[in-house]
Structure 1
Amino acid sequence: MDPFRRAQIILLCDLCKKAHLQSHCERCHINLCQTCVGEHLSDSSIRHNVVLYKYRKSLNYSKCPDHPDKQCKHFCEKCDIPVCSTCISSDKHRGHNISDSLENHGSKTESLQKDLEEFETRIYPQYEEMASDVQTEKAELETKYGKLTTAADQHGEILHREITTIVYERKSDIAEMKSKHLAALNKNTDEITNRITELRQIIQDLKKILDSNDVSLTSSYKSRNSEFRTLPPKVRVTLPSFSPQKINKDQLSEMFGSLSPLSINTEHGDTMKSAEAVSSPPVKPLLDGPCLIASIDTGYRELYRVSCLSEDQVWTCGNSKSMTLLNHQGKLLTSIYIGTGRMTGRMPGDIAVTRDRDLVYTDPNKRTINLVKNKQIQTVITLQGWRPRGVCCTASNHLLVTMVSDDETQSKVVRYSGSTEKQSIQFDDQGCTLYSSGGLYYNYKYLSENRNLDICVADNEASAVVVVNQSGKLRFRYTGHPLNTEELFDPVGITTDSQSHILTADHDNDRIHILDQDGQFLRYIHCDLEYPRGLCVDIRDNLFVADGDNTVKKIQYL
């Protein structure tokens, strides 16, 4: 039964004791009426967590180990344990400071909340950044070691050319020696051949004289035997020899060149300061002139949204039935197809990346919010009477969703934990609507959670950025540069950075506005933008813009 309608019990606000309670602060464990919520939240020194009364968490007291029939509704400060009422009166806890378990639970809960916030907003991102750096270094190994291999090959080719030249010179010397040797032998052969010819003639002449019995020929013969008894000179050549230098592998290796040793050192990890020691992130001043770092071609005919998975990978979607994961070179890494059958015009309303690095998207046609895990689509939430539009993931891993009623007369922001609705933001303190109503597909309402937990909505139909605090209380509206009244402010995309800046894409004016967390205009970003739409920042505060030329532009502005 609704607690407000019980006839026998009327539950009143714990502060004013007059009005019916409507909300409950889980941090302070008190019940509040609508009027007292604002007063309670005015104490900014405490991180309150105000929820609707029906969504409050009930406290479960532990049973006393010494008195099983009692619940431990008290806490012993000295022993640092919960105790029951019987334990308090025992000698064991005599003289000890005893507090109420609710008070102890509140302070412990606040400490847990601070630990959770530090893990989610500071420690976990640092680990993600380290993992990303290692992956980048691994990806660069092939290129870097490839350069070393190429240098070794090139130096080897130089040495090969030098050795080939030396071998050619030695072979040329051998050929020349061989030619000289052959010439000497040919000359010697000619001399011997000539003498042989002459000897043959003498022998023939002698035979004729002897056969003729002619006295005159015999008397005139003069002997030449003594002339030919001395043989002609014989050429003797000593062959050259090749004396190779003994190869000393060590000297050869040293002559070739050496590698410096590979040094692998495990450095002690840096210790981050605690959340208490670091009240704010490192200050990153705005650049005088933002600069375009990269332009990623997405291949979309109409590009609408972009969301960072890492420093070098972004999810994108547009006028298409698929969402694509691209790297900074525009290479397609993954594609998720959401269309079925012959449905036309079906496309995601918005995309975001969760703390677990999964993709979440809204489907206005099917009234669903969906999670993509391991390339499988899971429907997390199905709405009735409302169609989801924008979505973002918060520091506490909740989902914030903008939605429009089916009759297009209402708009609101709803917070979900898993599939459970935790908060609905629709009206201000005066009961007036915070957000404009209007068409589903042309009344863009994208949103982002700021570092201070403000919820920032780019309300295109209202030409305004609407910012409420964590509890849904209106902080301010930004309607464009106060000195520029000639151009209609046309906010579409929105994001926030580590400095609590609010960045919104001014679609028709081809620029991005940078605001501080209180809505004060700081600067424009132009960078040759053309009808910018979706925005996101990575962990290094690089800005990614889904531009009207269907590219994702990466811009450095801090």
Structure 2
Amino acid sequence: MREQCIEKISNVRQSISYHCHNLNADIEEDVRNVKNQINKMRETVDENTERLKNMIKNVKRESHEEIQCLEKTLMHAFNRQKEILHTHMQYLYKTIGEFDDLKHCTTPESVIEFHEKIISKTFHIPDLVKPGLPSFKSEPSINTESIEKYIGKITNTEPYFEELRVCQDHKIYCGTEKEAHCIGIIIISSTPSLQGCRHISLADDDYFWVSDYYGNLMLADLNGHVCKIEITKDKSSGFHTVAANGDLFCINERKKEVLRMVKNDKYDPEQKAFISNPTWKPVSIYCSEYSGDILIGSLKDKRLGARITRFDKAGKQIQQILSPDYIVPHYVTENYNGDICVSDWKKCAVIVHHKCGDHRFTYTGSHPYKKFYPSGICCDLLRNILVYDGYSKSVLILSCDGRFLSALINLQPEWTGFWWHTRGLAIDSQHNLWVGESHSNTIKIYSYLKKIQDSSI
């Protein structure tokens, strides 16, 4: 009995040491990320300040040039008036001189002749135009807030702290050998039928949106009953997402725009596109649960590259990641630590960038001699990255720093065809994993996380 107690104590010590080591590594990683973010913020402030100074110099130079041009125009007008007035005065002086010649008229005939000559003279006042004085309007409302619009302002001073505290209370339920437990199956019944569950967006605890390869986008409940059908004809993968207020955002590839459908009884679309860009074609979209920002993966041309763009709730662009790491970012999501995670099937990789835009890592598979075809991607509250691998037909778990942890679900027996490797993934509010079958209208729900209750675990 004593030996068993000693062994249990030893195991607890090892477990505590292991967790302390991991927590210390996480803290060091967070410190590095914070320092990088702070340095990035300083650089951004300096760059924006320098840009504002250059803008002020340019405006000052242009204003002086405009004032100088106005001055030349007015001076030219005044000089022209002087020339007209000078010519008229010369004419008057000449006439006065002719009056002086009257004294030379000694006979009545000469006086009459001179009188007729004077009568024929025309005297008029020249038309002079008085130019108006130029005006200048100055904005007196220059203050700190107006300057901050150009320099930038910190908007979130406590990102993700509360979520990280929640993460300490959970652990992965399955190990390397033990698979997750299926706790539910949803079969979508609709007309037209759903040709596979290519992408899933959870609206709330009772409803979700699901789409197939043929562009059928459907709103269904937990019983599989379809409440609304949108025929988009888009064949993108992660082309729709749901905001925290329930509004649906979906991509229209042909028009290169993002549509917003307001949550109500009918999910009515707005009159105009939420985001539109004639140059870049959007292929994937995700609405952040934490900031409400919209992440969009888009393509310009296969030869010119791809990008991830962040927009705020109003549709204003606030960040752009134009990286050679991207080829076709067909799924995009955001981790609890703010990392931007992209599943790129053309690159055969999961590409992760820091929230400030710096590249963190690229995962291309756990085995150097095996292929890797990533598709559906999502993140759990432990900051792990879950991605479906079409080559191994498995859901893989990656750590937030790019290490392979385990194969969570092996779906090899269900389907052997390669073409149907794309599967939609999502995690609900109870931390259950939703997996859409790409070859049928079925969604399976798995439980793989549980709350830690025994401190000796």
Instruction: Report the TM-score when normalising by structure 1.
Output: 0.49
Q: Is the contact made by 2:309 and 2:317 (CA closer than 8 Å) also made in structure 1?
A: yes
Question: 1:520 maps to what in 2?
Answer: 403
In 2, Cα distance between equivalents of 1:404 and 1:454: 21
Match 1:296 to one of 186, 202, 210: 186
Q: Is the contact made by 2:37 and 2:356 (CA closer than 8 Å) also made in structure 1?
A: no
Q: Is the contact made by 2:196 and 2:437 (CA closer than 8 Å) also made in structure 1?
A: no
Partner SS state of residue 156, structure 2: helix
Larger radius of gyration: 1
CA deviations over 1:226-250 (Å, ceiling 9, x no partner): xxxxxxxxxxxxxxxxxxxxxxxxx
In 1, Cα distance between equivalents of 2:425 and 2:239: 11
CA deviations over 1:433-487 (Å, ceiling 9, x no partner): 1212xxxxxx452111101101111111111111110111111111111xx3443
Amino acid at match of 1:539: S
User: Unaligned stretches of 5+ in structure 2?
Assistant: 1-31, 53-139, 416-420, 450-457
Deviation at 1:506, TM superposition (A): 0.5
Deviation at 1:301, TM superposition (A): 1.7
Q: Is the contact made by 2:237 and 2:331 (CA closer than 8 Å) also made in structure 1?
A: no
Q: Is the contact made by 1:444 and 1:492 (CA closer than 8 Å) also made in structure 2?
A: no
Distance verdict in 2 for CA 1:445–1:320, change over 3 Å: closer
In 2, Cα distance between equivalents of 1:545 and 1:337: 22
Partner SS state of residue 376, structure 1: coil
Matched, 1:544 2:439: no
> Highest relative contact order (Cα 8 Å, sep 6+), 1 or 2?
2
Deviation at 1:510, TM superposition (A): 0.9
In the TM superposition, 1:211-250 aligns within 5 A as: none
Match 1:332 to one of 226, 230, 242: 226
Matched, 1:557 2:448: yes
Question: 2:269 maps to what in 1?
Answer: 377
Matched, 1:461 2:355: no
Amino acid at match of 1:286: Y
Deviation at 1:389, TM superposition (A): 0.7
Amino acid at match of 1:458: S
Match 1:43 to one of 35, 42, 63: 35
Amino acid at match of 2:439: D
Question: 2:170 maps to what in 1?
Answer: 283
In the TM superposition, 1:80-99 aligns within 5 A as: none
Q: Indicate the RMSD between aligned Cα atoms, in angstroms.
A: 3.6
In 2, Cα distance between equivalents of 1:420 and 1:303: 31
Match 1:477 to one of 356, 362, 365: 362
Question: 1:449 maps to what in 2?
Answer: 334
Match 1:423 to one of 319, 327, 350: 319
Amino acid at match of 1:283: H
Matched, 1:413 2:308: yes
Deviation at 1:380, TM superposition (A): 0.5
Match 2:326 to one of 430, 435, 460: 435
Q: Is the contact made by 2:394 and 2:408 (CA closer than 8 Å) also made in structure 1?
A: yes
Question: 1:308 maps to what in 2?
Answer: 202
Q: How many residues align?
A: 305
Question: 2:156 maps to what in 1?
Answer: 113
Distance verdict in 2 for CA 1:372–1:54, change over 3 Å: farther
Instruction: Report the TM-score when normalising by structure 2.
Output: 0.59
Question: 1:501 maps to what in 2?
Answer: 384
Partner SS state of residue 331, structure 2: strand
Identity %: 23
In the TM superposition, 1:2-401 aligns within 5 A as: 43=35, 49=41, 113-114=156-157, 278=165, 280-288=167-175, 289-298=179-188, 299-338=193-232, 350-373=239-262, 374=264, 375-378=267-270, 379-394=273-288, 395-401=290-296
User: Unaligned stretches of 5+ in structure 1?
Assistant: 1-39, 59-68, 74-81, 83-100, 123-274, 340-344, 428-432, 437-442
Distance verdict in 2 for CA 1:281–1:327, change over 3 Å: farther
Partner SS state of residue 43, structure 1: helix
Q: Is the contact made by 1:385 and 1:406 (CA closer than 8 Å) also made in structure 2?
A: no
Deviation at 1:526, TM superposition (A): 2.4
In 2, Cα distance between equivalents of 1:117 and 1:42: 12
In 1, Cα distance between equivalents of 2:33 and 2:50: 17
Deviation at 1:279, TM superposition (A): 7.7
